[in-house]
Amino acid sequence: MSDSEPPRWTLRSFAFPALLLGGVSVGCAPILVRLSEAGPAATAFWRVALALAPLALIAAYAAGRTSASATPKTIVEWLTVSAPGAFLGFELVVWHISLHMTSVANATLLVNLTPIFAALFGWAIFGRPVGRVFAAGVAISVAGVALLTAGRSAAGGGRLSGDAIALSAAAIYAGYFLALGYARRRFSTASVMFGSAALAAVVTLPLALTERAFAPDSVSGWAALIALAWIVQACGQGLVTFAIAWLSPTLSSLTMLIQPFVAGALAWALFGESLTAAQIAGGLVVVAGIMVARRG
């Protein structure tokens, strides 16, 4: 270890605070999407496009500190690290649409069902075994979703369709994680994050150009997009990526469930989105189901 490199224990001591701060940062994403003056697809485009600059700097810095084989060089290798971005781009567009059709709490909770979809896809595509604990978690989550989308939250305003779109975003995001896992077996996290964001920008641009509101009209509108790109996409996701290398999967999973609570609290304060008893109960049951499924 060189004199300039921090000792491993020092990095490890920052892992949990980094995970917590990253979770809170990512939890602000739906609020910034709501505040964006651009359309849902355009917001997704600017979210990843504006994040490319800081992600490129991170990738360049990491390239000098990782093995040469962990940095893509050929076109095929860059396609490998970029492939997850196709799923990421479509997921962001779909989820941003859901945020305009249902409550922030519902959309954020439902997209957190991604690990369940990822495990189901892994079972269906790769034959990975699914145990009884995971099946119990799925059953609990389904019951929570039923409560979450019942009553006033599902009545009028297109909220039920918005909930369904948020669920489809969770399924698309599961594809992103499967592709991400394949790319991360060989290449560095920084390279995969930059490559994925680049392809996500390419994927979302044609959809963004079809919307009437492609770019913000005010400084505050641009501020929301820059915060979404730099604070959430680059910084928040980067902190989470750093932290999970040092922490147990159980602790990481439980801590990241802070996202829907942060989003719900901010939506309540800023947009007056109060939660019904059914939503609160359903949200708690969904979180419990996710926790059980992840243990399985």
Alpha carbon separation from 32 to 25, 38, 69, 85, 261 (Å, rounded): 11, 11, 37, 21, 15
The tens digit of pLDDT for each residue in 104-156 reads 988 988 888 887 887 788 787 777 777 788 788 878 888 877 777 765 544 44
Cα 175 from Cα 262, distance rounded (Å)? 25
The tens digit of pLDDT for each residue in 72-101 reads 888 888 888 899 999 999 999 999 999 999
Which has the higher per-residue pLDDT, 245 or 175? 175
| Residue 248 located in a structural domain | yes
Determine what percent of the chain is predicted with pLDDT higher than 90: 32
**Closest to 61 in 3D by CA, of 189, 185, 186, 184:** 189
**Closest to 251 in 3D by CA, of 12, 52, 3, 44:** 12
pLDDT value at position 209? Answer: 95
| Residue 200 located in a structural domain | yes
Q: How many domains does the chain have?
A: 1
Structure tokens at 43: 């917001």
The tens digit of pLDDT for each residue in 272-295 reads 888 777 778 888 888 888 777 777
- pLDDT averaged over the chain? 83
Structure tokens at 200: 């996500």
| Residue 16 located in a structural domain | no
Q: Exposure of 115 by Cβ count < 10 A (0-12 exposed, 13-18 middle, 19+ buried)?
A: buried
Of the candidate ranges 58-72, 192-206, 276-290, the one whose mean pLDDT is the lowest: 58-72
pLDDT at 232 over 90: yes
| Residue 159 located in a structural domain | yes
| Residue 72 located in a structural domain | yes
| Residue 101 located in a structural domain | yes
Please identify which residue in the block is written with the tokens 């000098």.
64
Q: Give the 3-state secondary structure percentages of the chain, helix then strand then coil, rounded to 5.
A: 80, 0, 20
Average pLDDT, stretch 44-58? 94
| Residue 215 located in a structural domain | yes
Average pLDDT, stretch 156-178? 82
The tens digit of pLDDT for each residue in 183-194 reads 877 888 888 889
pLDDT value at position 3? Answer: 47
Residues spanned by the domain of 110? 31-295
The alpha carbon of 279 is separated from its chain's Cα centroid by a whole number of angstroms, namely 22
